């Protein structure tokens, strides 16, 4: 892979991706770049904020309310997890339990637990449990990353 950068004043950020074949790795890269531009509205302390999807570590539903967790902040949003799951398909944000989505870019480590579950540790030290139902999807992503 070759990466070239150059500054061009008075023009918007433009990313050109040239590839020999459009494979899974390239498609995922394109989706991740597109996701950098996504923002989500979230409420914190009575104020509305625009949160970049790339800053979100995980999303969780608790008592019918959806929360967005970043490195230092927690925001509440009106959207449901399934809406986020659909919006960010193939961007590295995956479902790890019935009530939680995790940003794979924020994954620091993963550990097998005795009860066929995984414990995911995020870059901020937060620990999340990957339910057995969702093991296959996370393992597939991890295998794909090893091949890339």
pLDDT band for position 68 (cuts 50, 70, 90) = very high
Euclidean distance between CA atoms 64 and 97, whole angstroms: 15
Residues for the chain: how many in total? 148
Mean pLDDT of 38-43: 85
- More confident position, 88 or 55: 55
Report pLDDT digits (tens) over 108-119. 998 988 887 889
Place of tokens 């302390």: 45
Euclidean distance between CA atoms 40 and 23, whole angstroms: 29
Q: Is the dihedral of CA 128, 129, 134, 139 positive or negative?
A: positive
Mean pLDDT of 108-137: 89
- More confident position, 128 or 11: 128
What is the DSSP annotation of the chain? --------TTS--------SS--HHHHHHHHHHHHTT-EEEEEETTEEEEEEGGG--EEEEETTEEEEE-SS-EEEESS-HHHHHHHTTTTTEEEEETTEEEEGGGEEEEEE-TTS-EEEEETTS-EEEE-GGGHHHHHHHHHHHHH-
pLDDT value, residue 145: 58
Which domains are assigned to the chain? 24-147 (2.40.50.1020)
Mean pLDDT of 11-15: 85
pLDDT band for position 14 (cuts 50, 70, 90) = confident
Average the pLDDT over each of 25-29, 41-45, 89-93, 111-115 and give the range with the smallest value.
Answer: 89-93
Place of tokens 């020999």: 20
pLDDT band for position 144 (cuts 50, 70, 90) = low
Whole-model pTM: value is 0.77
């Amino acid at each position: 892979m070759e990466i070239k950068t150059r500054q061009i004043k008075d023009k918007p950020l433009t990313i050109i991706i040239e590839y020999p074949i459009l494979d899974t790795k390239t498609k995922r890269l394109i989706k991740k770049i597109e996701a950098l531009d996504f923002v989500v509205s979230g409420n914190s302390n009575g104020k509305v904020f625009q949160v970049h999807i790339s800053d979100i570590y995980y999303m969780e539903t608790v008592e019918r309310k959806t929360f967005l967790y970043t490195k230092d902040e927690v925001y509440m949003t009106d959207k449901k997890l399934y809406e986020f799951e659909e919006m960010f398909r193939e961007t590295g944000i995956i479902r790890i339990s019935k009530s939680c989505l995790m940003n794979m870019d924020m994954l620091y480590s993963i550990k097998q637990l005795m009860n066929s579950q995984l414990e995911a540790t995020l870059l901020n030290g937060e620990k999340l449990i990957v339910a057995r139902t969702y093991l296959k999807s996370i393992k597939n992503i991890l295998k794909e990353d090893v091949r890339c």
